[in-house]
A and B are shown apart, each in its own frame.
Chain A
């Protein structure tokens, strides 16, 4: 995709719930901060103004595949236009925990067409690097069960009616989301990381990749002497 270069760099992480991508992007954030780089971090579904509506929709299970998709696009547009794009123009390294590919994967599984989704997010820049954390379903599910103990309704795809059992529904839904990620990996040149490796090993690969593509010295804040 042709897009005019900006002073900043955009790095996104994608993967299933329980793939460990949030852990990895947090470590990248720590690392870049430690180096004195100008960094901004943005998380999927975190815009203050949209959060209330999203929470209400999820709680009452009012969301349909289309409104589920649109409410996340609204959240994304708010973060993108308020923070992400200005930060990129201002020369920051912007780290995104999930990006439009999350919508491409999940919402397509819910029945929104890929063309519609790509047009919907047509205003968003392609990241300079997108890391995809590939993990087998059982490991992702196992990590979630150990961590949060309770799977959430929409994350488990319960709205799809795959199964009345939430664990079973999660397995089916996430399996389809995973297939969708795998199909996108080539199309969007994801950098695939084996998310079964020990955390420090994955982080080393990620850091190495970032350093080889981005001249980090350009992003160091000028220290006051």
Chain B
């Protein structure tokens, strides 16, 4: 797979290939920064610390995440409970949700000059689908209208650490985050480990092709935060 186009921070926004109908990309003057990583990788903690920091520095910040859209958020939650949709239907449902947020919240915020901190983006959606044998070319085309972010950071955590954090936080493992729908193992813990390993492989392949940055998230919260701030400062210098 050839590398995908990578945005240069400070240059005009672009999509991954297809135009986004009715959106003038030259008017998007804010910054789109994506934090990627599996559940329990510490994304939300880092994002809330980044939000506070940026606001203190005088930037307006908007947050966005997966499955929070007005359009299909509820229907998706329902579908996940019932486990009744085919993998492709789920892919498309998530894609609908993603674009709804892109066009109805990310784009307006960027137009208004905000920093958008995205709690996951198309890469998590793609990685999940790829683990479930989706066709890579089909997915790339599906998401080819997505804006190329100004920066993407992948919080990289060892699977053992992930399992430990998940159990400490929830005392149980989530059905989907354990990939129980894949039938990898009847043992929940075992399935979690095997599923997260596969997901990790897909994240790294995407990381290579889309050229985003890996942040070692096996370290303490403070150290990771410091690392992220240093990287983000450099990106913002070029945009604002």
**A-B contact count, CB below 8 Å?**
85
B11 within 8 A of A: no
CB distance from A106 to the nearest CB of B (A): 13
B183 within 8 A of A: no
Contacts of B210 in A (CB 8 A): none
A74 near B22 (CB under 8 angstroms)?
no
**Residue in A closest to B17 when the chains form the complex, CB atoms:** A116
CB distance from A206 to the nearest CB of B (A): 31
B98-120 contacts to A (CB < 8 Å): 99-100, 103-104
A85-100 contacts to B (CB < 8 Å): none
B214 within 8 A of A: no
A119 near B92 (CB under 8 angstroms)?
no
Task: Pick the contact of A116: B85, B137, B144 (CB < 8 A).
Answer: B144
A52 near B100 (CB under 8 angstroms)?
no
B84 within 8 A of A: yes
What is the CA–CA distance of A74 and B18 in the complex, to the nearest angstrom?
20
A119 near B138 (CB under 8 angstroms)?
yes
**Residue in B closest to A118 when the chains form the complex, CB atoms:** B141
Task: Pick the contact of B88: A63, A66, A77, A110 (CB < 8 A).
Answer: A77
A67 within 8 A of B: yes
**Residue in B closest to A51 when the chains form the complex, CB atoms:** B75
A44-73 contacts to B (CB < 8 Å): 49-50, 52-53, 56-57, 60, 62-67, 70-71, 73
Cβ contacts B1-33/A at 8 Å (1 or 0 each): 000000000000000001111100000000000
**Residue in A closest to B72 when the chains form the complex, CB atoms:** A53
A182 within 8 A of B: no
B221 within 8 A of A: no
B70 near A81 (CB under 8 angstroms)?
no
Contacts of A49 in B (CB 8 A): 75, 79, 84-85, 89
Cβ contacts B36-69/A at 8 Å (1 or 0 each): 0000000000000000000000000000000000
B96 within 8 A of A: yes
Contacts of B188 in A (CB 8 A): none
Task: Pick the contact of B138: A50, A64, A110, A122 (CB < 8 A).
Answer: A122
CB distance from B21 to the nearest CB of A (A): 3
Task: Pick the contact of B75: A53, A70, A116, A122 (CB < 8 A).
Answer: A53
**Residue in B closest to A60 when the chains form the complex, CB atoms:** B70
What is the CA–CA distance of A82 and B100 in the complex, to the nearest angstrom?
25
What is the CA–CA distance of A52 and B79 in the complex, to the nearest angstrom?
12
B212 within 8 A of A: no
Most buried by B among A52, A62, A64, A123: A64
B72 near A78 (CB under 8 angstroms)?
no
Contacts of B89 in A (CB 8 A): 49-50, 74, 77-78, 81
| B residues whose Cβ falls under 8 Å from a Cβ of A | 18-22, 70-72, 74-75, 79, 84-86, 88-89, 92-93, 95-96, 99-100, 103-104, 137-138, 141-142, 144-145
Q: Give the 4 A-B CB pairs with smallest separation, nearest first.
A: A111-B21, A74-B92, A119-B141, A70-B96
| A residues whose Cβ falls under 8 Å from a Cβ of B | 49-50, 52-53, 56-57, 60, 62-67, 70-71, 73-74, 77-78, 81-82, 110-113, 116, 119-120, 122-123
With contacts A64-B103, A66-B99, A81-B89 known, what are 11 further pairs, Cβ within 8 A? A49-B89, A52-B74, A60-B70, A65-B21, A67-B96, A70-B95, A70-B96, A73-B92, A78-B89, A111-B19, A122-B138
